[in-house]
Structure 1
Amino acid sequence: MRWELLFADLESRLEAEERAEVEAEIAKRTRDERAAVTLAGRLAAHAGGRVALVLRGGGRVAGAVADLAGAWVLLDTAEGQAVVPLTAVAALDGLGHGSAPLTEVRRRLTLASALRELADSGLPVAVETDGGTWRGVIRAVGADHLDLDAGGVARTVPLGALLAVRAG
């Protein structure tokens, strides 16, 4: 047997080991990057695209992603706009695989801050929870609840109970 063949075999084994190490490193980095992806980041990459959200309890909200923050998404639906806390989402249909970074402000923008804007506007809303849907005007938003004037009834709703706040 010629030595050149032995050395060529050694070289091909080393190249195969090197390729395997590179492939393992790529797989690890891909896994690590994927582990850092948030649902809000995936929705940000899908801005303007249509999604269907399945809410806790089985309700649905479908529409185009109009705005979002780390804690909520605003959809343009056939019936108007709807703010949905991401904690109310049980599943999503139609979401792409891409991800986009959120600014620090977007990551910190809370559901309560978005609801305060709605309260300041005085626009009528439909507040949807597991316990029912109430129509009225948001009068105030605390750290963990909102006060809704529901046709003369002052109703307090914990933010954790919200499934969606829809226009009108």
Structure 2
Amino acid sequence: MKDIDRLDRKILRALQKEGRLSNLELADRVSLSPTATAERVKRLTREGYITGYSALLSPEKLGRNLLVFVQVKLDRTTPDVFDAFAAAVKRSDDVMECHMVAGGFDYLVKARVAGMEAYRQFLSEVILPLPGVRETHTYAVMEEIKGTGYIPV
């Protein structure tokens, strides 16, 4: 991959803040012609700098008010257990993110559910039956201070 320049960074920043910009609006914001802007966006996408677009949804409006983080410790850390765990997590719509981490536990799972009753069901039906799970610790979010997917460019 080649290095990206100042204009590429401006494009990435603009699209990260407002992914629905038309090419004309984007070109205006970064002071380029629409043709040059479109070509840069195509190249940035082709080279993997832009991986997709999505809408940000309201968890409250959709009845997903409870955000939880679950630390998961496995009973053994072998490639087959890691693979089985990852495949099972990917099948759950409640899991928003799952990260293998270094430290005192193996995975950190971020999930959004309707409430505490839904969380108990999620824990017993999704997390605990996952391959190799030995122990979990749950942290329910009382207040979200900052939530962003923004990456400094």
Instruction: State TM-score, norm by structure 2.
Output: 0.23
Q: Which structure carries more relative contact order (alpha carbon 8 Å, separation 6+)?
A: 2
Select the structure of larger CA radius of gyration: 1
Query: Quick check: which one's strand share is greater?
Result: 1
Instruction: State TM-score, norm by structure 1.
Output: 0.21
